[in-house]
Structure 1
């Protein structure tokens, strides 16, 4: 059997804060997930986002320490339109999350922005820009 990519895993320093952030982006976690040591949300295409508390990771890897120097990974969320990139960015920043990059029209043809989740992971927001008219 060939291994198949299936799960993106994040370690959350504050699970409730991470759940609130990712729920704002439309991910669905079970009711009462804030009290669990490990939670999962189904992603499009059959992938799963898994969140573990730091204590959970230390339960099987006692010497584990959080990385230093910034985020632990980057995730990207496709928005339907460039205006939605702006709206989602404004919603997250208005809710107190850190904006790494304000929305801008990237040279590769996308509206793009980056916000940090509660653990400093970069979360990209993007949507294709309209094709230039000839």
Structure 2
């Protein structure tokens, strides 16, 4: 059997805060999961995303410690349009989430922005840039 990617796992310090953030990005996370130590949601295409509290991870890996510096992961969310990138960035930052890179027209042909989730992990928002007129 060939291994296949099945789940992306995130370790979170505050489950409720993290789930609220990712719900705002459109993930279909089970209602009532905010107090659970482990939560999963199925993404389009069938891959799962899993959230585990730091306490759960330490229960089976007592030497685990929170990553720092550049070892953090970045998730990227495709938006329907450059305007949606701008609107979603504004919605998230107005809700109190930290903006890392304001929306801009990247040289690689995308409208691109980065916000930070409650644990400080970068979350990219992008869409193909508007065609030149």
Q: Quick one: distance in 1 between partners of 2:78 and 2:16?
A: 24
Moved more, 3-12 or 66-75: 66-75
Q: How do 1:1-134 and structure 2 match up within 5 A?
A: 1-69=1-69, 72-133=72-133
TM-score under structure 1 length normalisation: 0.95
Unmatched segments (≥5 aa) in structure 1: none
Structure 2 length as normaliser, TM-score?
0.95
- Structure 2 distance, partners of 1:72, 1:62, is 20
Change (3 A) 1:70 1:21: farther
Secondary structure at 1:46's aligned position in 2?
A: coil
> What do residues 63-115 of structure 1 show as CA deviations (whole Å, max 9, x unaligned)?
11111236721000000000000000000000001111000000111100000
| Count of equivalent residues | 133
- For the 8 Å contact 1:79–1:126, the answer to whether it is kept is yes
Q: Is the 8 A contact 1:82 1:127 kept in 2?
A: yes
Q: Is the 8 A contact 1:40 1:51 kept in 2?
A: yes
Instruction: Report the Cα distance in structure 1 between the residues aligned to 2:5 and 2:117, rounded to whole angstroms.
Output: 23
CA-based RMSD: 1.2
3-state SS of 2:23 partner: helix
Q: Please, which runs of 5 or more residues in structure 2 have no aligned partner?
A: none
Offset from partner CA, 1:7-52 (integer Å, 9 cap, x none): 1100000111100100011111112111111001111111111000
